[in-house]
Amino acid sequence: MRRDLIDLLWRDHPAAPRRGARGPQTQVATGAVVDQAILLADSGGLIALTVRALGQSLGMSTMSVYSHVNSREDLLVLMADAQVARMPRRAFGRAGWPARVRRVARTNLDLLMAHPWLLDVADDRLVLGPGTIAKYDHELHALDGTGLTDVTRDAALTFVLDFTRAAARGLIPDPLREGFPEHWQRTADRLATYVGDDYPLAQRVGQAAGEAMNAAYNPEVAWDFGLPRVIDGLASAIRDADPA
């Protein structure tokens, strides 16, 4: 029997409907199917995660996998929600809001670096999941005491997480990016011939940045520069929210 995604996400809740006796039966629990899918994605990315490959790794037929997860799209939501549910959620204690926000950003960056496939799961239905809701509630508390309205608090957290996701895309190793310094050395003179005296500002700034970073783009520099600017931007919004 097909179960709605929300019931699959909350399958361990006492109020969740139980699976019926009809349809393919298996000794493998839905949670085990999701966990195995996470292992496949961690080792080979989402391109390696097919329902057929997942079934083979579990000793199940493809149809048996579908009896657990409905579709690959639903599976990705279940995987992402299960993974964020395992994130550490330490109490913020007496730390000020800037330290709390930095911790939120760092914890999310660590998660994305460990599981890069999460960057490619952009399904709005994630907001239905217990892990996602628990993460959201915890991270909203990083902005306690700031005076932000509920709507602005949500926007502020989104701002932090969007920056973190963008930074993660740069920080995750990419063979093409790693080989760029050698490619630059081979092509710099020819590029200068093509560009000539056009775009002088781009040439000056690009040369200075490239020499400083030994690359066209350094994601560590971008992270170290960007996170304090995120904090500064939030501080401005918080000052604006203060009626005093």
> pLDDT tens for residues 96-118?
999 999 999 999 999 999 999 99
Cβ proximity of 136 and 153 under 8 Å: no
At residue 17, does pLDDT exceed 70? yes
Give the model's pLDDT for residue 215.
Answer: 57
Please indicate, yes or no, whether residues 65 and 104 belong to a single structural domain of this protein. Answer: no
Please indicate, yes or no, whether residues 71 and 146 belong to a single structural domain of this protein. Answer: no
Average pLDDT over residues 153-165: 97
Query: Where residue 23 falls among pLDDT bands split at 50, 70, 90?
Result: very low
Please indicate, yes or no, whether residues 115 and 141 belong to a single structural domain of this protein. Answer: yes
Task: Give tens-digit pLDDT for 44-74.
Answer: 999 999 999 999 999 999 999 999 999 999 9
Nearest residue to 40 via CA among 150, 115, 136, 142: 115
Please indicate, yes or no, whether residues 71 and 99 belong to a single structural domain of this protein. Answer: no
Please indicate, yes or no, whether residues 33 and 143 belong to a single structural domain of this protein. Answer: no
Single pTM value for the model: 0.85
Amino acid at 74: D
Query: Where residue 205 falls among pLDDT bands split at 50, 70, 90?
Result: confident
The total of structural domains in the chain comes to: 2
Question: Domain span at residue 170?
Answer: 88-244
The CA-atom distances, in angstroms, between 125 and each of 7, 76, 79, 132, 153 are 12, 10, 12, 10, 21
Please indicate, yes or no, whether residues 132 and 238 belong to a single structural domain of this protein. Answer: yes
Please indicate, yes or no, whether residues 119 and 210 belong to a single structural domain of this protein. Answer: yes
Quote the CA–CA distance of 100 and 93 in Å, as a whole number: 9
Cβ proximity of 37 and 66 under 8 Å: no
55: number of Cβ within 10 Å = 19
Q: What is the CATH number of the domain that holds 29?
A: 1.10.10.60
Please indicate, yes or no, whether residues 61 and 139 belong to a single structural domain of this protein. Answer: no
Quote the CA–CA distance of 198 and 202 in Å, as a whole number: 9
Domain boundary among 59, 84, 109: 84
C-alpha 165, offset from chain centre: 5
Please indicate, yes or no, whether residues 104 and 77 belong to a single structural domain of this protein. Answer: no
Looking at residue 146, the DSSP 8-state letter turns out to be S
Domain boundary among 49, 66, 84: 84
Looking at residue 28, the DSSP 8-state letter turns out to be S
129: number of Cβ within 10 Å = 23
Quote the CA–CA distance of 23 and 61 in Å, as a whole number: 13
Cβ proximity of 118 and 131 under 8 Å: no
Quote the CA–CA distance of 181 and 213 in Å, as a whole number: 10
Say whether 22 sits in a helix, a strand or coil: coil
Task: Give tens-digit pLDDT for 114-144.
Answer: 999 999 999 999 999 999 999 999 999 999 9
| Torsion from C-alpha of 77, 79, 83, 85, nearest 10 degrees | 60
Q: What is the CATH number of the domain that holds 152?
A: 1.10.357.10
Domain boundary among 84, 99, 119: 84
Give the model's pLDDT for residue 212.
Answer: 61
At residue 194, does pLDDT exceed 90? no
Please indicate, yes or no, whether residues 193 and 216 belong to a single structural domain of this protein. Answer: yes
Please indicate, yes or no, whether residues 52 and 94 belong to a single structural domain of this protein. Answer: no
Please indicate, yes or no, whether residues 198 and 173 belong to a single structural domain of this protein. Answer: yes
Task: Give one DSSP letter per residue of 182-204, joined into a string.
Answer: HHHHHHHHHHHHHHTTS-HHHHH
